[in-house]
A = this chain, B = another copy of it.
Amino acid sequence: MAGNNKLTEEKIFEAATEEFVDKGMDGARMQDIATRAGINKALLHYYFRTKDHLFDAVFEMIARKIMKRFSPVFDENFSFEDKIRFFFREHISFLQENPKLPGFILNEINRNPARIKKLLSSVDFENIWNTFYKQHKEDLLKYNISKETMPQLMISIAAMSVFPFAARGIIEGALMKSGIEFNDFMEERKKFAAEFVISAISK
């Protein structure tokens, strides 16, 4: 029973993850989640009580997954340039495996800003900057990157990997018209974006 219990709960969780990522909180339907999980709709409430609770659980799992994937950027012992390359390679690879995540996360950011505010309250940006600064003092000086310009750089880096997936519906169509396949484009982007950024800061 414990085994079966876990199975039903997991089935629900997986189906809910897919349905929420596809359609967002507003567009997802409990009946559709149940159908997707192959279970009776009442079980959603038995295991997770409400749609909100189910969504919260899914969102937190996703947030954790993302954090876990990218924390190495701040720990790895390699150069600043190689960290930029690492980030693009890893980030785009991750998004290739989860292409609908940017759309989902951005939609949720706009739909429910309070959720994000809460998420941020546990992040110590000062400490992150200090750690990063200690690791890369010389490179930061060399590239003329101050604590003030760092946010502009970080957001540009994030933008360049996330945006194509978030806007995939329009970008994919536009690329097709030029005979370019989206996945090839993103594969190529791992290198293009890294070299673009490194070139930009190497003025």
Binding site for B on A (CB under 8 A): 23-24, 26-27, 100, 103-104, 106-107, 109-111, 113, 116-117, 119-120, 123, 125-126, 129, 147, 149, 151-152, 155-156, 158-160, 162-164, 166-171, 173-175, 177-178, 180, 185, 188-189, 192-193, 196-197, 199-203
Q: In chain B, what residue has the closest Cβ to A188?
A: B152
Q: Is the CB of B159 within 8 A of A180?
A: no
Q: Is the CB of A169 within 8 A of B109?
A: yes
20 residue pairs of the A-B complex, CB under 8 angstroms, read A23-B111, A24-B111, A103-B110, A104-B110, A109-B170, A120-B173, A120-B174, A120-B177, A125-B174, A151-B180, A152-B192, A152-B193, A156-B160, A159-B159, A159-B162, A159-B164, A160-B160, A162-B167, A163-B166, A199-B201
Q: What's the Cα separation between A175 and B155 when bound, in Å?
A: 11
Q: What's the Cα separation between A183 and B199 when bound, in Å?
A: 27
Q: In chain B, what residue has the closest Cβ to A163?
A: B159
Which residues of chain B have C-beta atoms less than 8 A from A129's C-beta?
Answer: 178
Copies in the complex: 2
Which residues of chain B have C-beta atoms less than 8 A from A147's C-beta?
Answer: 178
Which residues of chain B have C-beta atoms less than 8 A from A160's C-beta?
Answer: 156, 159-160
Q: In chain B, what residue has the closest Cβ to A153?
A: B196
